[in-house]
C-alpha cells in the first residue's frame, strides 16, 4: 500500500520534561508522534535515533542517510518525513539533499515546543510535512524543510529564531500548507547528486573558525596544527577576516587542507572585495568563497567532498560547481 515513511530522530518534537524539571529530553518514538499528528495519509513510522539534534555527529548523519535511502527504495513509499531537532536541521537537510537521487521528496520537520507543552506545535508541523511528502507536486523538489505552514528547500534555509514558532527563513519557499492542503509555488534548482558518504565521513573533521572585531589568526593556526581535514572561515561582512589570516590560509592550503571562506552575516553572498586582510587576500591565499552558502551548510558540502577524497587541487572547482 502506498504510504509515507516517518523516520524519527528525536528533537524537541519528541521531548518531554517528565516528572523532574532537569531539562527536556527526547523520549517519544516516531509511532507516538504520528498518532498525535492525525491526517488521512497512510503512514509507517520507524525510529532511527532518539536524541537532541545538538548532539548529532557525522556518523549519525550517515546512519540517517542510509535509513532514508532504504525507505525511498520501497516502491510503495511515496515520500519520507524526518522528525528532527531544529538546532541543526539545516545541516542534516542539506547533507541529505546533496546526495538525494530520487524523485520522491524527503521532508524534515520538528517543533519549537516540547511534546508535553500546553500547546505543542509538533503535531501540526508533522501533519503538514506528511501532506507535503505525499503530494505529487513535491516530486523532484529534493529535500525540504516544513515548518509553520511553509515548505522550504534545504539549500539556503536556516534557523533564524530561537523561540518563535516560525523558526526558519531563507531557501526557496516551494509550497505552503493550510488546513492540510498543499499549495505549490516554486520548484528549487537541483544539482547532480554527490556520492552517499562512506565510513570515512564519520571521522572527517571540518572546523568553523569565527571572525570578529579584533580577532587574530591564532585559532585558525591552532586547528591547522591539530590536523583538521578542512576549515570554514565564518568571515565578517562579505567575507573578510583580518591581518595574519591570509598567511594561515596559505599555510593550510599549501599542506592540502581546504579552506572555505563564508560569512557570519545571515543573508547574502560571500564576495571577495577588500585587501589588507580582507576577502581578496584570503582567496589569493587559496581560500574558496562559499557563494550563498552559510558557514554551516558550506561545512557539510566541504565534509562530503573531503570524504569523497577529492584531490586538493580539484577541491575549489568541485566546491564551486555546487554553489
* pLDDT in the model for residue 22: 82
User: Domains in the chain and their CATH numbers?
Assistant: 3-184 (3.40.50.1170), 205-320 (3.40.50.40)
Is 9 assigned a catalytic role? no
Range 149-155 average pLDDT: 98
- CA 156 remoteness from chain centre: 9
With helix as H, strand as E and coil as C, how does the chain read?
Answer: CCEEEEEEEECHHHEECCCCCCCCEECCCHHHHHHHHCCCCCEEEEEEEEECHHHCCHHHHHHHHHHHHHHHCCCCEEEEEEECCCCCHHHHHHHHHHCCCCCCEEEEECCCCCCCCCCCCHHHHHHHHHHHHHCHHHCCCCEEEEECCEEEECCCEEECCCCCCCCEEECCEEEEEECCEEEECCCCCCCCCCCCCCHHHHHCCEEEEECCCCCCCHHHHHHHHCCCCEEEEEEECCCECCCCHHHHHHHHHHCCCCEEEEECCCCCCCCCCCCCCCHHHHHHCCCEECCCCCHHHHHHHHHHHHHCCCCHHHHHHHHHCCC
> Does the annotation place 140 within a ligand binding site?
no
Q: What is the pLDDT of residues 221-244, one digit of tens each?
A: 999 999 999 999 999 999 999 999
Mean pLDDT score of the chain, rounded to an integer?
96
Range 69-74 average pLDDT: 98
Confidence class for position 40, pLDDT limits 50, 70, 90: confident
Is 302 assigned a catalytic role? no
Residue 14: all three cell numbers together: 519528541
Q: Is the pTM of this model over 0.85?
A: yes
The catalytically annotated residue of 9, 12, 83, 88 is 12
Q: Rounded to whole angstroms, how far apart are CA atoms 165 and 144?
A: 18
Q: What is the pLDDT of residues 269-301, one digit of tens each?
A: 999 999 999 999 999 999 999 999 999 999 999
Range 183-197 average pLDDT: 97
Confidence class for position 1, pLDDT limits 50, 70, 90: confident
Identify the residue with better confidence: 190 or 41: 190
Q: Rounded to whole angstroms, how far apart are CA atoms 116 and 16?
A: 5
The catalytically annotated residue of 2, 25, 83, 86 is 86
Residue 48: all three cell numbers together: 532511527
- Beta strand 77-83 with 3-10: parallel, antiparallel or unpaired? parallel
Q: What is the pLDDT of residues 29-38, one digit of tens each?
A: 999 999 866 5
* pLDDT in the model for residue 21: 63
Burial of residue 296 (number of CB atoms within 10 Å: 0-12, 13-18, 19+) = middle
> How many other CB atoms are there within 10 angstroms of residue 25's CB atom?
15
> Does the annotation place 176 within a ligand binding site?
no
Q: What is the pLDDT of residues 105-151, one digit of tens each?
A: 999 999 999 999 999 999 999 999 999 999 999 999 999 999 999 99
> Does the annotation place 87 within a ligand binding site?
yes
* pLDDT in the model for residue 210: 97
Range 169-197 average pLDDT: 97
* pLDDT in the model for residue 68: 98
Amino acid at each position: 500500500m502506498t504510504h509515507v515513511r516517518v523516520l524519527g530522530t528525536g528533537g524537541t518534537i519528541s521531548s518531554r520534561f517528565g516528572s523532574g524539571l532537569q531539562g527536556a529530553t527526547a523520549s517519544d518514538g516516531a509511532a507516538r508522534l504520528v498518532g498525535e499528528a492525525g491526517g488521512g495519509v497512510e503512514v509507517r513510522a520507524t525510529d532511527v535515533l532518539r536524541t537532541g539534534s545538538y548532539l548529532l555527529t557525522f556518523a549519525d548523519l550517515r546512519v540517517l542517510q542510509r535509513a532514508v535511502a532504504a525507505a525511498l527504495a520501497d516502491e510503495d513509499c511515496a515520500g519520507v518525513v524526518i522528525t528532527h531537532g531544529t538546532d541543526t536541521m539545516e545541516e542534516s537537510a542539506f547533507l541529505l539533499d546533496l546526495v538525494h537521487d530520487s524523485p520522491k521528496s524527503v521532508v524534515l520537520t520538528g517543533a519549537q515546543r516540547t511534546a508535553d507543552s500546553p500547546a505543542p506545535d509538533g503535531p501540526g508541523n508533522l501533519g503538514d510535512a506528511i501532506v507535503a511528502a505525499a503530494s505529487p507536486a513535491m516530486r523532484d523538489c529534493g529535500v525540504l524543510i516544513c515548518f509553520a505552514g511553509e515548505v522550504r528547500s534545504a539549500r539556503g534555509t536556516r534557523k533564524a529564531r530561537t523561540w518563535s514558532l516560525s523558526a526558519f527563513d531563507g531557501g526557496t519557499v516551494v509550497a505552503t500548507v493550510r488546513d492540510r492542503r498543499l499549495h505549490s509555488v516554486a520548484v528549487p534548482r537541483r544539482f547532480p547528486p554527490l556520492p552517499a558518504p562512506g565510513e570515512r565521513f564519520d571521522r572527517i573533521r571540518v572546523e568553523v573558525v569565527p571572525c570578529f572585531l579584533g580577532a587574530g589568526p591564532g585559532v585558525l593556526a591552532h586547528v591547522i596544527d591539530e590536523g583538521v581535514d578542512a576549515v570554514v572561515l565564518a568571515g565578517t561582512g562579505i567575507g573578510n577576516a583580518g591581518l595574519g589570516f591570509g598567511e594561515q590560509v596559505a599555510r593550510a592550503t599549501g599542506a592540502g587542507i581546504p579552506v572555505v571562506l563564508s560569512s557570519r552575516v545571515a543573508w547574502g553572498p560571500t564576495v571577495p572585495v577588500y585587501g589588507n586582510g580582507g576577502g581578496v587576500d584570503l582567496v589569493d591565499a587559496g581560500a574558496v568563497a562559499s557563494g550563498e552558502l552559510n558557514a554551516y551548510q558550506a561545512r557539510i558540502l566541504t565534509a562530503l567532498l573531503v570524504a569523497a577524497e577529492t584531490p586538493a587541487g580539484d577541491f575549489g572547482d568541485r566546491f564551486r560547481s555546487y554553489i
